[in-house]
Amino acid sequence: MTTARTDATLRELATTALQGDRVVHLQRVVSHYRVPRPPRRRRPRPAVLPHGGRRPKPPFGIRVRDRLIDFLLWFLHPFDSLGELILMPFRALFWLCRSKEKRRRDKGLNGGWDSAAGGLAIAVHVWSGCVLAVGERLVGLVYVGEREAELAWTVPREEVAGVELADWDTHDEQQATLRWHFRDGSWCDVQARDAGWKSLVDALPVR
């Protein structure tokens, strides 16, 4: 399948998921490491993605190794907790000494899970298959499977305050950290994959 055919198919699936809203921009995205993991009860289980959007199960040997590591971490947890208690005052002091801009940059999610940004952070927490679709009326996160798509999250386009390039992170033509700002004051970092993210930033400047 050619790239043009793939893009056309993807656009058609996204348009269907957005209930016919004409899609003007598509961007493949993944969750950003600065965004905390959502509570287990809120994590998505998309039907259109393999393994329900979860990471594929590794081979048996890898699973055994991971179990042993988990046991070791569990055994050492009390000592780790004691160390955290000792270091907590120093970390709090370090946090207060950082500039306001530095604290803003390090905060991948602002506004909580019930905010517009929180909804995006929850929806993008899958292994693969996420596409942000910007329509004329709506902005949505779409899970794209082999033959169908599933709308995971959506807001009216006017609720998006803009998209900011996190230029303090490494970026190039194929990937960048994009901070999505919303009218309720919340924001969420996502990792954009593939070319095209620059036009998205230009189309939705932060106001």
Give me the CATH number covering residue 10. Answer: 2.30.29
Is 70 exceeded by the pLDDT of residue 55?
no
Q: Give pTM, 2 decimals.
A: 0.75
What is the total count of domains within the chain? Answer: 2
Residue that wins the pLDDT comparison between 115 and 43: 115
Is 70 exceeded by the pLDDT of residue 54?
no
CA atoms of 17 and 30, how far apart (whole Å)? 19
Burial class (CB in 10 A: 0-12, 13-18, 19+), 141: buried
Indicate whether 14 and 44 sit together in one domain.
Answer: yes
φ/ψ (deg, to 5) at 19: 60, 40
92 is in which domain, residue-wise? 60-100
Burial class (CB in 10 A: 0-12, 13-18, 19+), 37: exposed
Helix (H, G, I), strand (E, B) or coil at 35: coil
Q: How confident is the model at residue 5 (pLDDT cuts 50, 70, 90)?
A: very low
Mean pLDDT of 170-176: 90
Mean pLDDT of 32-54: 82
Indicate whether 84 and 25 sit together in one domain.
Answer: no
pLDDT, tens digit, 9 for 90 and up, residues 84-111: 778 777 777 766 676 788 888 889 999 9
Mean pLDDT of 144-152: 83
Indicate whether 37 and 131 sit together in one domain.
Answer: yes
Helix (H, G, I), strand (E, B) or coil at 73: helix
Nearest to 105 by CA among 34, 38, 52: 34
Mean pLDDT of 179-190: 96
Is 50 exceeded by the pLDDT of residue 141?
yes
Indicate whether 93 and 179 sit together in one domain.
Answer: no
Indicate whether 38 and 126 sit together in one domain.
Answer: yes
- Residue 175 contacts by C-beta under 8 Å, 6 or more apart in sequence? 191, 192, 193, 194, 197
Cβ neighbour number for residue 159 with a 10 Å cutoff: 13
Q: Which pLDDT score is estimated for 164?
A: 94
Average pLDDT value for the chain: 84
Is 80 exceeded by the pLDDT of residue 25?
yes
Mean pLDDT of 164-172: 90
